[in-house]
Amino acid sequence: MDCERTVFDTLIIGGGPAGLTAAIYLRRFTRHVALVDKGNSRLGWIPVSHNYPGFPEGVNGQLLLEKLRAQLANYGGSVMQGEILDLRLEDGVFVADYAAPDGGEPCQIHAMTVLLATGVADAGMPVERWDEAVRCGAVRLCPVCDGWDVIDKRIGVVTSEVNPVGHALFMRTFSADVLLFERGPESTLNEEERRQLAAAQVRLVGSPLVGVSMSEDMTPILHTKDGEDYHCDVFYPMLGESARSSLASKLGAETVECEKLLVDEHCRTSVPGLFAVGDVTRGLNQIAVATGQAALAATTIHNTLPWALRPAHDPAA
């Protein structure tokens, strides 16, 4: 692909479910699309998703990504592995600095429109054997996605700055055995939050959490400052997130809490021609939401760009 000599209809940044779905739609609209993926989609972490429609037995996140890539390939689309380092506007055209993952020759990608599907980065904490723990479901990152899967389990939750007790109360609807841990040296919970926890019979651990290890059978053990160990079946480190929105914010796109991009009903940011879908935008972090936004944004992009008319048939030919 000769990036330097091509002006694409759309550059899609991010190859998770949102970016791939948008690319599928745009290719089926016969649009010229470049999709660049850094390879860090959160979907790849999901061992089994049971609430994405159409998979009654659930679907592995990595498998779903592979199916979406194969579907895109059916319409002549592909994924460019690499990273967009910078994005700017020059004479009404978006110009992106692309870097290949193998250290190959960098190039510039030009496009009439850009769709960001860059997702979020989770605020983490040191957890022993993190990768293995997430992939086996001992550490979980989405209560909305898998609350059903932990019904009546022993659940450990860590407070977040944005919603310190909300996640614990949410998990209380799935299990009567919920422990809430704080991380800081001093408690940040107010009296009303403590009252809510007591009313819901959520146990607030008095000593702050200092570490998490995994047992031989891959269940989490939460260690507190006072030397106590708490054995749980699953652990939710709900410490917040930050959107990967810096490319857009540098262009002046409006952001809200957690640096998430503010978009309208057609997934347009405040920068003309710049769209955003999925977890990088304000809303519910769900695969179904991301793919729905992608369909909406791709159709809006197609209807916004000049029509690419098919050549007329010559009866004399």
- The total of other beta-carbon atoms located within 10 Å of residue 142's CB is 18
- Per residue of the chain (317 residues), what is the pLDDT tens digit? 556 678 999 999 999 999 999 999 999 999 999 999 998 898 888 889 999 999 999 999 999 999 999 999 999 999 999 999 999 999 999 999 999 988 777 899 999 999 999 999 877 677 888 888 888 889 998 899 999 999 999 999 998 777 889 999 999 999 999 999 998 888 889 999 999 999 999 999 999 999 999 999 999 999 999 999 999 999 998 877 889 999 999 999 999 988 999 999 999 999 999 999 999 999 999 999 999 999 999 999 999 999 988 888 877 76
CATH architecture of 124-236: 3-Layer(bba) Sandwich (3.50)
Domain chopping of the chain, boundaries = 7-121+241-304, 124-236
- Return the pLDDT at 4: 62
* Global pTM exceeds 0.95: no
The tokens for 29 are 């609209």
Q: Which helix (H) or strand (E) holds 180?
A: strand 178-181
Task: Compute the distance between CA of residue 22 and CA of residue 214 in angstroms, rounded to an integer.
Answer: 39
Q: Is there a contact between 111 and 96 (Cβ–Cβ < 8 Å)? A: yes
Q: Is the dihedral of CA 126, 127, 132, 137 positive or negative?
A: negative
Which CATH superfamily includes the segment(s) 7-121+241-304?
A: FAD/NAD(P)-binding domain (3.50.50.60)
Angle value at C-alpha 13, between 12 and 16, nearest 5 degrees: 95
- The total of other beta-carbon atoms located within 10 Å of residue 57's CB is 6
Task: Compute the distance between CA of residue 209 and CA of residue 283 in angstroms, rounded to an integer.
Answer: 29
Q: Which helix (H) or strand (E) holds 190?
A: none
HSE-CB of 267 using CA atoms within 13 angstroms: 30
- Return the pLDDT at 2: 57
